[in-house]
Chain A
Amino acid sequence: MEYEPVIGLEVHCQLATTTKMFSGATTVFGREPNSQVDVVSLGLPGALPVINAKAVDLAVAAAFALGGAVQAHSKFDRKHYFYPDLPKGYQISQFDEPYCIGGAVLIDHADGTTKSIGLTRIHMEEDAGKLIHQDNGLSEVDLNRAGTPLIEIVSEPQLRSAAEAYSYLMELKRALKWVGVSDCEMQEGSLRCDANVSVRPVGQTRFGTRVEIKNLNSFRAVESAIEHEIAQMIALHRAGRQGEIVQCTKLWDPDHKVTRIMRLKEDAADYRYFPDPDLPPLVLTEAHRERIRASLPELPRVREARFQQQYGLDRTAARDLTADAAIADYFEAVVQLGAAPRLAANWTREEAMRLAHEQHRSLTEAAPPATMAKLIGLVESGRVARVEAKMSSTDLFASSEDPEAYFTRLGKIQVQDAGALSSWVAQGIAQEAKVVADLKAGKMAAIGRLIGATMKLSGGKADPNAIRAEIIRQLGLG
């Protein structure tokens, strides 16, 4: 019998605000413990929450970027549990009236097909702090993260493999980063994911027993943990031991690549949700929602499709260039400055991104679009050899010299003079009788040697493409 995995993801995404969800305390990552706190985030007696308007706007932008229906009216609820990293004894969240319902994430399969993964809902909430466990058995509480604004994006159980879950997360990250909602760094915890996994015999409509996996702190961990869990569940089914699958919460152990049971369903807490009496309902007027919708940039999948149509790029190039809005903007800036789109696509993906990465700078800082467009122009017209341009690019961009002046100074501008080219090729043909004979016998692979010899005669100034064409012309090989 064949088995089918059923996966749903709950993704927590930290909103890129400078202050907390319900107070003015700052949210800088990696600071001294308990330095990013105030009376509200410490949960001191008498302190009251005030909704961060910027966080709400970012959450709404995220909802639009994911095609969700932003609700005119929603509310905040208290979710109760006792834990030392939760200063008030409750977390402010949205329970039965989230601010966004529905939405979808489109994922691409390797075969070129696209699948839509529905979203159940998105809600806003505040983060908890964290515990730092010491070797001496004591635990310390750091409340820097407590109160940080989050959105939780809940998918429908429509993912069918670990690879799909991975694609879903990558696509989600692209969309959220794109509209500036979050930096989506799993390592820093600004994107976190819990996976609900079950398997069932193909054809069965009822869901199998579900396991929730937590502690997935990298994209690869999500994929590996789900793969592991699915394999384990299918093995139990095949052995007729599916009854041993129990509803529970598991933790992923990345060192041993296994999932371990953290708590069973019967231990689940009663969160005693009720509407937070300190906060009025969240009302988002039509005008407010429209203002945010109108301020959104062209979304990544739309831009990706346009790049293919408008610039004739292949799917991979279009996808690479829309991994990030900064890359797409850079590419289009270079094209606007006159560079041929396909060359601009290659040079952006290869050289500009390499330089930016090596130098930890932005694309425009590392390789200014104007310089890049001129460089591409020189390569396109054949005045600078592509290999030469690539080899020199680090130096060229570091020098901030005009590309034309730079290559002229180095004597690397290729001679386009037809007379000189013709005479170098004639000399080459005279020198390399053996190669000429091979070529005439149809062994075209030999042409490289003749091109090389001619290049040498030109002192490296000739364009190899032009040499090739001239050899073919002189020897009548066309």
Chain B
Amino acid sequence: MTESITAIAAAVNGGRSARNAVEHSLHAAERDTLNAIIRVHRPRAVAAADVVDARVRSGERLPLAGVPLVIKDNLCLTGAEVGCCSKILAGFIAPYTATAVARLEAAGAVVVATANMDEFAMGSSNETSCRGPVRHPLDPARVPGGSSGGCAAAVAAGIAPLALGSDTGGSIRQPASLCGVVGAKPSYGAVSRYGLIAFGSSLDQIGPFAADVAGAETAFRAMAGHDPLDSTSAAHSWAPVDQTIDPRAALRGLRVGWCPAHVAGLAPGVRARLDAAKSALESAGARLVEVELPHERFAVAVYYVIATGEAASNLARFDGIRFGHRASDPKDLGDLYARSRAEGFGAEVRRRIFLGTYVLSTGYYDAYYKKAQQVRALIVRDYQQAFASCDVLLGPASPTTAFRRGEKTADPLQMYLSDVFTIATNLAGVPGVSVPFGADERGLPVGMQLQAALGDDARMWQVAAGLEALAR
């Protein structure tokens, strides 16, 4: 068991060398057997650790001092290759660092490695990666979830205490749930997207993975805040969780909403844990409130119109002209584009580009994209109404625990339904976190999802800390 984020930062701020924690993590990353790590940044990490030590010696106290950090392969880091685990970006080196990564570095975190992911974050099992699948830390035949499967597995396996992923429809929360770690998608706009290679711009949000809520929340606060380089980043101040309050005590009187509709179709092991979470919260003094999200049942359909439309547009820049893969001996410009993209993108990415191109086409736009945006507005309203009667929403983060590799690859719709509980969060822009809450009958982890109103991230973290305490 690796040390917690809080413990490492306290030790390094207290004089222990940052090199120590970083070396431990680099060593683990270099010996990764899960295929969670695709790139180790040893020289850079060692140099960065020395910088942290120098800063601490000069009197700075850093919230993430010496905390080893793994980043998803869609986050830019100056001078490092970044590829979204896609052949199309082969050889591309980022000339700049993503704001979220830069802010974590400023807070003392040290990037040690890049994590595997589904190609362009399109997938729920980390099986679409051009770098091969990631193995689940508890069962190598199973998937860690996706798309941030490498991040979740790396934290679960103790390679690093902190990982940075992205979540467009559940890509942080679902793998966090399957791997038994904390993973959060903050409110849309809380964390700058500058330097995150876009999938669905109106849905994408960067968030942390950690072994515990306190560590994830510390990382969130280090990243959150307005960034002039991202026009969709919010001018909002992000209050910290009050550490002086016992997280269990904070649950007293809390109104916890839950949707009866979410119970149908749950794997029995997940359902048992949901029931356990509900009764634990009730015993802690929280009040359970039944709520309805009447349009949530359209969320998956709406998502696959909006996300693919935006993705088809965002991925247009991967054309073989300026960087990445280019087909050899093109016979003309059209051939260069067609073959570079056909060779560079994997099957799932191509499928979504086709879908997205279709829904934005003249004559279909109104029927698909525009209609989906209208339904999205209804989902936003559903959430606003739900949060009028409750403080947080409780539910499963995933309908199942970790499934077997290959189990859902033949049927894209089955795969898309893995995100049935996480997608509406992104459509509504609200924050959501998956907190480990025990295991199913096979011993595979189950995560409970907590969602809060837009901008109410502090409350989400507060309740997550309480739920975490109840799980122990």
- B is bound to A: yes
Residues of A within 8 A of B229 (CB): 48, 50
Q: Is the CB of A45 within 8 A of B197?
A: yes
Instruction: Knowing A80-B313, A90-B316, say if A46 contacts B76 (CB, 8 Å).
Output: yes
A274 touches B313 (CB 8 A): yes
Query: At the interface, yes or no: A141 with Cβ under 8 Å from chain B?
Result: yes
Q: Which of A81-89, A100-108, A429-437 contacts B (4 or more CB under 8 A)?
A: A81-89
Contact B94 A46 (CB under 8 A): yes
> Quick check: A48 and B95 within 8 Å, CB to CB?
no
A50 partner, pick from B196, B197, B231, B318, beta carbons under 8 A: B231
Give A278 to B317 CA distance when docked, in angstroms. 15
One of A42, A48, A87, A274 near B194 (C-beta < 8 A): A48
* A46/B231 in contact, CB under 8 A: no
Compute how far the CA of A44 lies from the CA of B89 in the bound complex, rounded to whole angstroms.
11
Q: Which residues of B contact A278 (CB under 8 A)?
A: 198, 201, 231-232
Asked whether A272 lies within 8 Å of B361 as measured between CB atoms, the reply is yes
CB distance from B265 to the nearest CB of A (A): 31
Chain A residues closer than 8 Å to B200, beta-carbon distance:
277
**Shortest Cβ distance from residue B202 to the other chain A in the assembled complex, whole angstroms:** 4
Return the contact of A141 from the options B76, B309, B321 (Cβ within 8 A): B321
Q: How far is the CA of A46 from the CA of B323 in the complex (A)?
A: 14
Q: Mark B218-258, 1 if CB is under 8 A from A, else 0.
A: 00000000001111100000000000000000000000000
Q: Is A448 an interface residue (CB 8 A)?
A: no
Complex contact B316–A88 (CB within 8 A): yes
Interface flags, A273-293, vs B, CB<8A=1, else 0: 110011110000000000000
User: A251-285, CB under 8 A of B: which get 1 and which 0?
Assistant: 00000000000000000001111100111100000
Q: Is the CB of B319 within 8 A of A82?
A: yes
Confirm or deny: B92 has a beta carbon within 8 angstroms of a beta carbon on chain A: yes
Contact A280/B232 with A45-B89, A274-B313 known, Cβ cut-off 8 Å? yes
Q: Which bucket holds chain B's interface residue count? A: 35 or more
A64-107: CB near B (< 8 Å → 1, else 0) gives 00000000000000101010100111100000000000000000
B228 partner residues in chain A, CB cutoff 8 A: 50
Contact of B362 among A45, A49, A270 (CB under 8 A): A270
Contacts of A273 in B (CB 8 A): 360, 365
Q: Which residues of B contact A274 (CB under 8 A)?
A: 309, 313, 360, 365, 369
Determine if B193 is an interface residue (Cβ-Cβ < 8 Å): yes
Instruction: Check B357 for interface membership: any CB of A closer than 8 A.
Output: yes
Query: Which of B76, B313, B315 has the most A CB atoms < 10 Å from its CB?
Result: B313
Q: Which residue in chain B gives the minimum CB-CB distance to A278?
A: B201
Q: How far is the CB of A209 from chain B (nearest CB, A)?
A: 21
Q: How far is the CB of A91 from chain B (nearest CB, A)?
A: 11
Question: Smallest distance from the beta carbon of B179 to chain A beta carbons, Å?
Answer: 26
How long is the Cα–Cα vector from A117 to B54 in the complex, in angstroms? 69
Contact B362 A88 (CB under 8 A): no
A88 to B96 alpha-carbon distance, docked (Å): 18
**B contact residues around A89 at 8 Å (CB):** 313, 315-317, 319
Q: Report yes or no: B196 in contact with A84, Cβ–Cβ below 8 A.
A: no
Which residues of chain B come closer than 8 Å to A270, judged between CB atoms?
361-362
- C-alpha spacing A344/B96, complex, angstroms: 59
Chain A residues contacting B321 (CB-CB under 8 Å) are 84, 87, 141
How many angstroms between the C-alpha atoms of A471 and B290 in the bound complex?
114
Q: A212–B149 Cα gap in the complex (Å)?
A: 52
Describe A's contact surface by its main secondary structure.
Answer: loop
Nearest CB of B to A2, in Å: 38
- From B98, B194, B315, name the one whose CB has the most chain A CB atoms within 10 angstroms: B194
Q: Would A46 and B360 count as touching, CB distance under 8 A?
A: no
Q: B residues within 8 A CB of A39?
A: 95-96
Which chain B residues numbered 348 to 393 have a C-beta less than 8 Å away from chain A?
A: 357, 360-362, 365, 369
Which chain A residues in 15-47 approach chain B with CB under 8 Å? Answer: 39, 42-47
* Min distance, Cβ A227 to any Cβ of chain B, angstroms: 34
Give chain B residues whose Cβ lies under 8 Å from the Cβ of A87.
317, 321-322
Q: Which A residues are CB-close (under 8 A) to B230?
A: 48, 50
Give the CA-CA distance A48 to B194 in the complex, in Å: 6
| Interface flags, B303-319, vs A, CB<8A=1, else 0 | 00000011011011111
Report the minimal beta-carbon distance from A127 to chain B, rounded to whole angstroms: 17
- Which residues of chain A are near B365, meaning CB under 8 Å? 272-274
Shortest B369–chain A CB gap in Å is 6
Contacts of B416 in A (CB 8 A): none
The CA-CA distance from A185 to B369 in the complex, in Å, is 40
Instruction: Flag whether A51 is at the interface (Cβ < 8 A).
Output: yes
Q: Which of the residues B98, B196, B202, B312 comes within 8 Å of A277, measured between beta carbons?
A: B202
Q: Which residues of B contact A88 (CB under 8 A)?
A: 316-317
Do the beta carbons of A48 and B322 come within 8 Å of each other? no
Question: A277 contacts B201, CB within 8 Å?
Answer: yes
Residues of A within 8 A of B319 (CB): 82, 84, 89
In angstroms, Cα B322 to Cα A175, docked, is 39
**How close is B402's CB to chain A, nearest CB, in angstroms?**
30
A-B contact pairs, 5 of them (CB 8 A): A47-B195, A48-B194, A50-B231, A84-B333, A89-B319
- On A, residues with C-beta under 8 Å from B are 39, 42-51, 78, 80, 82, 84, 87-90, 141, 270-274, 277-280
List 18 other contacts, CB 8 Å, given A78-B313, A278-B231: A39-B96, A42-B322, A43-B322, A44-B96, A45-B84, A46-B82, A49-B231, A51-B231, A80-B360, A89-B313, A89-B317, A90-B316, A272-B360, A272-B361, A272-B362, A273-B360, A277-B201, A279-B232
The list of the 10 closest CB pairs from A to B, nearest first, reads: A89-B316, A277-B201, A277-B202, A272-B360, A45-B197, A46-B195, A43-B317, A88-B317, A46-B76, A46-B197
